[in-house]
């Protein structure tokens, strides 16, 4: 039975929301910015001084070619280039790859690649060497379209980025394969897994990739050295690197792959898929490959389905690919624009929008009076005036000099709605009053059922940051749990029983991905119920406004129940030696844990090692890096002091 895109779109949307969909992109996603396979080989042969057989020289990309001839030409070209150093060889590949001889940074991102990048993808696999995907996603991140959120759930374009928001390019090294496998279960930076090496220098200059934290010069040389084109290179990549095969097997069995512009019938890929199927059996997730209609007569559908587990999906002409990818991103991310009247399509797929938890004493079924926490993928509601049981907590800032609350986008937007509903008479900022000792973390708006959480640096004399930043109203990731706990205590003391809370410290000037403050908010809930077992609060509803938080939660990458129940946490430690090489450890600790504790646990003399936390917990410099609080989603980077 032949499948069309409309047949698979509901499944793709559901798989994305469960966190199991991963694009696998090939050369078709990079055209016309980059050369196709035939043109690339002919140009590489020219760079290597190798003669190209006349049939291949006269062939067109759409011609059916003998793949054995292509492999032989590739092998000769690669052998001829072996006399060059790594960087000179990489430059030869770039010249051959960049269509029209364009210089680095001059290749325009194709429409299909831009459409894919509009959506947040935790993992993208590619057989391409170019930077088009990573640069396109990097630009989306810079624009803030995948970062900060307003209280309506719309992306904030003023959002700041940290290293955890920037796509990271990985190759076939054992360390990179470990990172890929870890990403299947834990929140990480978005990844581009370059299976055949990475060159860069197409949509961005190489120095720009370094500046944007995508990769440094050492990593660039390492990935360029992994470029695969000739027969021997393919054999080495697949057969001589068991860690790579095992990592690929993990991805193939735990993700549903969507092949886009990909030559999945390459011999080495068929052999790799076949080996995985032989050792592991068929995986639980279906895979799909999009093909234009002209490929229909050249594909063996039965072989793809039964031997590789890949269902081919046919569409009209190749030019339609960008539109189809755009429909997928519209279905699972922010729509570009409302559909014109009369062109509305039916709903794509059901999605979970609530998750519920009960505070349990270990019995099989929690009692009817159990305290409850509900996660909701929905905006904050305005309580009914005069209800007396329901209140709302919003994130606010604070001036360290006079302890005044600073309402931001979330608080001001909510106040306007509350005023329209008759819950408050005005929205004057001076009505925010502190509820704890200065510097305060909890505020209340007059006597309204509205509280403010100020997760800000608690030092009264805050030093300026590394770049001389103004320390006023500096967010602090390590203060969120305390601030949430203190504000819940104030709401409890005021007699409220049902609490709604929005994202804390996740607004447009934050330094981190919104997943980090979300996890710290859960830690605040845990602390509150542990310290106040007799609380009158019966229900807390945490409203998640960001897809970048909700989808990892639904996918199980954030163990919410575990974080609500226990202070035990696994911490990722990246130890980088003097040459820049790194080794990642996973250590288990009981919170609260600080950087100095991690150094001691790893057996590192504190005086010899600098420490950095990703993301940075605050805009201002700490008095001592060893005193920084480590959160469950942090990565501790340790490097030798110079």
Measure the CA–CA gap between 522 and 633, rounded to whole angstroms: 12
Measure the CA–CA gap between 639 and 575, rounded to whole angstroms: 6
Mean pLDDT of 162-180: 85
Mean pLDDT of 606-613: 88
pLDDT band at 212 (very low <50, low <70, confident <90, very high): confident
Cβ atoms of residues 93 and 77 within 8 Å:
no
Q: Which of 99-103, 286-290, 596-600: highest mean pLDDT? A: 286-290
| 506 vs 361 pLDDT, higher one | 506
Q: For 285, phi and psi rounded to 5 degrees?
A: -110, 135
How many residues appear in the chain?
Answer: 642
Tell me the CA distances in angstroms from 264 to 21, 102, 126, 260, 289, one per residue in order.
Answer: 17, 28, 11, 10, 8
CATH number for the segment(s) 5-33+107-332: 3.40.50.1220
Both tokens of 618, joined, read 């605050």
The residue ranges of DSSP E strands in 502-634, in sequence order, are 539-543, 568-576, 582-590, 593-594, 609-614, 629-630
Measure the CA–CA gap between 164 and 156, rounded to whole angstroms: 17
Closest to 465 measured CA to CA, from 481, 480, 476, 454: 476
Both tokens of 352, joined, read 């979970």
Task: Please list the residues that pair with 21 across neighbouring strands.
Answer: 256
Report the pLDDT value the prediction gives residue 146, as an integer from 0 to 100: 40
Q: Which of 200-209, 237-246, 330-339, 496-505 has the lowest mean pLDDT?
A: 330-339
Task: Please list the residues that pair with 434 across neighbouring strands.
Answer: 443
Measure the CA–CA gap between 5 and 65, rounded to whole angstroms: 28
Give the residue extent of every domain in the chain.
5-33+107-332, 35-97, 354-565, 568-640
Its pTM stands at: 0.86
Q: What is the pLDDT of residues 266-304, one digit of tens each?
A: 777 778 888 888 888 888 899 999 999 888 887 888 888
Tell me the CA distances in angstroms from 157 to 120, 160, 260, one per residue in order.
Answer: 15, 9, 29
Mean pLDDT of 16-42: 92
Report the pLDDT value the prediction gives residue 472, as an integer from 0 to 100: 57
Tell me the CA distances in angstroms from 592 to 353, 389, 476, 478, 616, one per residue in order.
Answer: 31, 33, 15, 10, 17
pLDDT band at 467 (very low <50, low <70, confident <90, very high): very low
Tell me the CA distances in angstroms from 46 to 52, 140, 313, one per residue in order.
Answer: 8, 37, 37
Measure the CA–CA gap between 179 and 29, rounded to whole angstroms: 25
Which residue do the tokens 């819950």 mark?
423
CATH number for the segment(s) 568-640: 3.10.20.90
Angle (CA) 262 266 270, round 5°: 105
Buried b or exposed e, range 540-555, using 16+ CB within 10 angstroms: bbbbbbbbbbbbbbbb
Both tokens of 213, joined, read 């934290």
Under DSSP, the state recorded for 261 is S
Tell me the CA distances in angstroms from 365 to 250, 282, 359, 372, 414, one per residue in order.
Answer: 35, 37, 11, 13, 36
For residue 475, say if its preceding peptide bond is cis, omega within 30 degrees of 0: no
Half-sphere exposure of 546 (CA within 13 A, CB side): 27
| 641 vs 413 pLDDT, higher one | 413
**What is the SS3 string spanning 43-101?**
HHHHHHCCCCCHHHHHCCCCCCCCHHHHHHHHHHHHHHHCCCCHHHHHHHHHHHHEHHH
Both tokens of 530, joined, read 């542990």
Measure the CA–CA gap between 381 and 389, rounded to whole angstroms: 14
Q: What is the pLDDT of residues 518-565, one digit of tens each?
A: 999 999 999 999 999 999 999 999 999 988 899 999 999 999 999 999
Which H or E run contains 406?
A: strand 405-407
pLDDT band at 624 (very low <50, low <70, confident <90, very high): confident
- Cα 375 to chain centroid distance, Å, stands at 20
Report the pLDDT value the prediction gives residue 1, as an integer from 0 to 100: 72
Helix (H, G, I), strand (E, B) or coil at 309: coil
Closest to 268 measured CA to CA, from 172, 186, 351, 337: 172
* CATH match for 354-565 among 1.10.10.10, 2.60.40.10, 1.10.10.60, 3.40.220.10: 3.40.220.10
CB atoms within 10 A of CB 569: 22
Q: What is the pLDDT of residues 328-358, one digit of tens each?
A: 999 888 666 566 666 566 767 888 999 999 9
Measure the CA–CA gap between 310 and 430, rounded to whole angstroms: 62
pLDDT band at 144 (very low <50, low <70, confident <90, very high): low
pLDDT tops 50 at residue 153? no
Report the pLDDT value the prediction gives residue 384, as an integer from 0 to 100: 86
Both tokens of 616, joined, read 């940075």
């Amino acid at each position: 039975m032949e499948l069309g895109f409309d047949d698979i779109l509901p499944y793709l949307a559901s798989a994305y929301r469960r966190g199991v969909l991963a694009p696998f992109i090939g050369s078709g996603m990079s055209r016309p910015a980059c050369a196709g396979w035939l043109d690339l080989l002919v140009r590489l042969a020219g760079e290597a001084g190798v003669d190209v057989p006349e049939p291949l020289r006269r062939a067109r990309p759409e011609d059916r070619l003998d793949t054995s001839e292509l492999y032989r030409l590739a092998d000769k070209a690669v052998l001829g280039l072996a006399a060059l150093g790594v960087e000179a060889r990489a430059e030869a590949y770039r010249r051959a790859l960049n269509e029209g001889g364009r210089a680095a940074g001059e290749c325009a991102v194709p429409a299909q690649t831009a459409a894919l990048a509009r959506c947040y993808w935790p993992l993208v696999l590619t057989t391409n060497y170019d930077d088009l995907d990573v640069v396109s996603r990097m630009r989306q991140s810079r624009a803030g379209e995948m970062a900060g959120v307003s209280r309506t759930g719309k992306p904030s374009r003023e959002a700041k980025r940290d290293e955890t928001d920037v796509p990271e390019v990985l190759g076939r090294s054992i360390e990179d394969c470990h990172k890929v496998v870890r990403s299947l279960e834990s929140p990480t930076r978005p990844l581009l897994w370059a299976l055949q090496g990475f060159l860069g220098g197409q949509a961005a200059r190489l120095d720009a990739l370094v500046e944007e934290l995508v990769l440094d010069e050492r990593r660039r040389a390492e990935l360029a050295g992994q470029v695969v084109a000739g027969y021997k290179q393919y054999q080495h990549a697949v057969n001589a690197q068991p860690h790579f095969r095992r990592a690929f097997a993990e991805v193939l069995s735990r993700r549903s792959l969507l092949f886009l512009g990909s030559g999945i019938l390459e011999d080495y890929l068929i052999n790799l898929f076949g080996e995985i199927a032989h050792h592991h059996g068929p995986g639980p997730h279906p895979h799909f490959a999009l093909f234009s209609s002209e490929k229909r007569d050249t594909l063996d559908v039965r072989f793809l389905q039964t031997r590789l587990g890949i269902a081919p999906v046919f569409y009209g002409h190749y030019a339609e690919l960008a539109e189809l990818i755009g429909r997928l991103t519209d279905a699972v991310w922010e729509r570009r624009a409302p559909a014109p009247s009369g062109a509305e399509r039916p709903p794509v797929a059901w999605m979970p929008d609530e998750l519920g938890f009960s505070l349990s004493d270990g019995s099989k079924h929690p009692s009817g009076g159990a305290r409850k926490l509900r996660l909701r993928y929905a905006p904050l509601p305005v309580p009914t005036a005069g209800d007396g049981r329901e209140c709302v907590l919003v994130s606010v800032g604070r001036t360290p000099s006079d302890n005044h609350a600073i309402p931001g986008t979330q608080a001001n937007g909510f106040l306007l709605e509350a005023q329209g509903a008759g819950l408050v008479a005005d929205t004057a900022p001076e009505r925010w009053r502190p509820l704890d000792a200065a510097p305060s973390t909890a505020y209340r708006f007059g006597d309204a059922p509205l509280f403010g959480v100020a997760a800000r640096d608690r030092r009264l004399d805050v030093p300026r940051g590394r770049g001389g930043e103004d320390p006023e109203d500096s967010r602090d990731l390590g203060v969120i749990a305390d601030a949430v706990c203190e504000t819940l205590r104030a709401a409890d003391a005021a007699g409220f029983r049902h609490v709604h809370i929005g994202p804390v410290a996740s607004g447009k000037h934050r330094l981190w991905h919104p997943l980090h403050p979300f996890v710290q908010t859960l830690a605040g809930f845990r602390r509150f119920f542990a310290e106040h077992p007799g609380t009158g609060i019966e229900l807390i509803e945490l409203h998640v406004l960001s897809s970048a938080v909700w989808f990892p939660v639904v996918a199980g990458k954030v163990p919410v129940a575990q974080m609500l129940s226990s202070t035990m946490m696994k911490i990722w430690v990246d130890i980088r030696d003097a040459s820049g090489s790194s080794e990642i450890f996973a250590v288990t600790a009981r919170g609260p844990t600080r950087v100095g504790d991690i150094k001691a646990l790893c057996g590192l003399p504190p005086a010899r090692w600098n420490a950095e936390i990703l993301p940075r917990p605050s805009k201002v410099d700490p008095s001592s890096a060893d005193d920084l609080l480590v959160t469950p989603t942090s990565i501790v980077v340790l490097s030798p002091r110079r």
